[in-house]
A and B are shown apart, each in its own frame.
Chain A
Amino acid sequence: AAGVIQSPRHLIKEKRETATLKCYPIPRHDTVYWYQQGPGQDPQFLISFYEKMQSDKGSIPDRFSAQQFSDYHSELNMSSLELGDSALYFCASSSRRGLNHEQYFGPGTRLTVT
């Protein structure tokens, strides 16, 4: 079965650079979530989209922005990167039409800021 795809899997950037993370949800899933997991931390919710509209917002810095496109893939744009942005970034997708309320997670993008 198709899973959530994230690219790139690994990314190394320098301070003050920008980064773009991409997420391709499971086909026919209409909702995408972004989470950030710092070293030794639990995943923290950043932002979510339903049918291409932002549906919820968590602890996402103003330097970050995200959107969901017409094909339902999503991109997380991160600017003015800081050392503290180094983390594993997960994307998850779900279908509101289904009743299992399960979020399917991608393998994550490991961002290292030097």
Chain B
Amino acid sequence: AQSVTQLDSQVPVFEEAPVELRCNYSSSVSVYLFWYVQYPNQGLQLLLKYLSGSTLVKGINGFEAEFNKSQTSFHLRKPSVHISDTAEYFCAIGEGAQKLVFGQGTRLTINP
């Protein structure tokens, strides 16, 4: 069975500070990893994905994530956050065309 653990339920940071949202996963097979963002009262938008190849993945809005197989992690980072990055962030794991299993979400709050 697959599972995803997001280690922080809430992360408050100041504007223009760097941020890291942590995600660990568990799976017995090779998987694909995703980060989605959900703004208040909106749907899920894909930030970035890891399918194979380079372990450093760059996404939209200046976000990037690094796949670490030995540590079974896929942490999301941004060097300088903006007020507009305030949202809920979900890490997800998937197998090919199968369902996505989501983590519990991390609420990122940006303070001025």
Give Cα A108 to B42, complex, Å: 8
Name the segment of B13-21, B61-69, B78-86, B95-103 touching the other chain.
Answer: B95-103
**Is A64 part of the binding interface, using a Cβ–Cβ cutoff of 8 Å?**
no
Would you list which residues of chain B between 15 and 72 have a CB under 8 Å from chain A?
A: 32, 34, 36, 42-46, 49, 51
Contact partner of A102 (CB less than 8 A), chosen from B42, B46, B102, is B46
Residues in B with CB closer than 8 Å to A103 are: 94, 100
Residues in B with CB closer than 8 Å to A102 are: 34, 46, 49
**Is A90 part of the binding interface, using a Cβ–Cβ cutoff of 8 Å?**
yes
Give Cα A58 to B1, complex, Å: 13
Contact A50 B102 (CB under 8 A): no
Q: Which of A42, A56, A102 has the most CB of B within 10 A?
A: A42
**Is A72 part of the binding interface, using a Cβ–Cβ cutoff of 8 Å?**
no
Contact A45 B44 (CB under 8 A): no
Give Cα A48 to B97, complex, Å: 10
Residues in A with CB closer than 8 Å to B101 are: 45
Residues in A with CB closer than 8 Å to B46 are: 102, 104
**Cβ contacts A to B, 25 pairs, < 8 Å:** A33-B100, A35-B100, A42-B90, A42-B105, A43-B44, A43-B90, A43-B102, A45-B99, A48-B99, A50-B97, A56-B98, A56-B99, A58-B99, A90-B43, A92-B100, A94-B97, A99-B51, A100-B51, A101-B96, A102-B34, A102-B46, A102-B49, A103-B94, A105-B43, A106-B43
Known: A33-B99, A105-B36; 11 extra A-B contacts, CB below 8 A, are A35-B100, A43-B100, A90-B44, A92-B100, A100-B49, A101-B32, A101-B51, A101-B94, A101-B97, A103-B94, A105-B43
